[in-house]
């Protein structure tokens, strides 16, 4: 079964890289993109691939930030397909499979959900920048740092976090996995560190 899914997804990918590719618009929650699949290296490669397709290919991507109130996609993932012989059909993904639905009322309902999600998502440019930041990380000064106090900067990139002294970056950094960093934050908040 897994081999079949890999084959189908690989064939779909070749469609996106052909000379006359289909137009693909994606809206996804930030948390779904940040969720690691296949380990850190695979996850980073997947996000980098999204950036490459969005910058030079047929994909337009909009990310709904974690802080957004947009709940348009809370019903789960779905896809629209324009088929020559059937018109617009809908595929709704869930654990039992991805049935094709051609009932007009369901297609229209999901089109309205998609339009609402587009409105709630960041622009394609801002979304690609968010993806780049997930890959490369952005340094952020601790909110507890002050001019007279010890200062630290944190940079998180997908499942890796590094921390350094902002007053003397030449000292290097401490590296943490995502789980280790969560444990550090938990201990700091509890007053154990």
Average of per-residue pLDDT across 38-65: 83
Average of per-residue pLDDT across 21-39: 80
Q: Which helix (H) or strand (E) holds 62?
A: strand 59-64
Average of per-residue pLDDT across 177-181: 78
Whole-structure pTM value = 0.61
Average of per-residue pLDDT across 6-27: 76
Instruction: Report CA-CA distances (Å) from 167 to 95, 117, 149.
Output: 50, 42, 10
177 with 144, same domain: the answer is yes
Q: What is the pLDDT of residue 97?
A: 65
Paired sense of beta strands 59-64 and 24-29, if any: parallel
42 with 112, same domain: the answer is yes
118 with 59, same domain: the answer is yes
173 with 84, same domain: the answer is no
Token pair listed for 134: 């997930």
127 with 147, same domain: the answer is no
126 with 33, same domain: the answer is yes
Number of domains in the chain: 2
125 with 146, same domain: the answer is no
pLDDT tens digits, residue range 144-157? 655 666 677 777 76
What is the pLDDT of the chain when averaged over all its residues? 77
Domain boundary among 136, 158, 179: 136
151 with 185, same domain: the answer is yes
Cα–Cα distance measured from residue 159 to residue 136, given in angstroms and rounded to the nearest whole number = 11
Question: In sequence order, what are the beta bridge partners of 82?
Answer: 88
Best CA proximity match to 37, nearest among 159, 131, 134, 138: 159
88 with 150, same domain: the answer is no
Domain that holds residue 165: 138-189
| pLDDT over 80 at 178, yes or no | no
177 with 99, same domain: the answer is no
Best CA proximity match to 161, nearest among 185, 178, 173, 144: 178
Domain boundary among 92, 108, 136: 136
Token pair listed for 163: 């921390």
102 with 175, same domain: the answer is no
pLDDT tens digits, residue range 94-139? 666 666 777 788 888 878 888 888 888 888 899 998 888 887 766 6
50 with 90, same domain: the answer is yes
Cα–Cα distance measured from residue 162 to residue 183, given in angstroms and rounded to the nearest whole number = 14
């Amino acid at each position: 079964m897994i081999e079949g899914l890999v084959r189908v997804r690989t064939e779909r990918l070749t469609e996106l890289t052909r000379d006359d590719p289909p137009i693909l618009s994606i809206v996804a929650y930030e948390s779904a993109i940040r969720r690691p699949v296949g380990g850190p290296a695979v996850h980073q490669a997947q996000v980098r691939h999204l950036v490459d397709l969005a910058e030079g290919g047929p994909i337009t991507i909009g990310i709904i930030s974690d802080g957004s109130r947009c709940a348009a996609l809370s019903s789960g993932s779905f896809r629209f397909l324009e088929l020559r012989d059937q018109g617009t059909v809908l595929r709704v993904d869930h654990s039992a499979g991805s049935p094709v639905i051609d009932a007009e009322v369901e297609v229209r309902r999901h089109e309205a959900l998609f339009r609402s999600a587009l409105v709630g998502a960041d622009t394609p440019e801002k979304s690609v920048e968010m993806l780049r930041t997930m890959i490369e990380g952005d340094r952020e000064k601790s909110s507890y740092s002050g001019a007279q106090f010890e200062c630290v900067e944190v940079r998180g990139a997908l499942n890796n976090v590094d921390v350094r002294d902002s007053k003397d970056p030449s000292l290097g950094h401490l590296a943490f996995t995502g789980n280790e960093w969560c444990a550090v934050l938990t201990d700091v908040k509890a007053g154990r560190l």
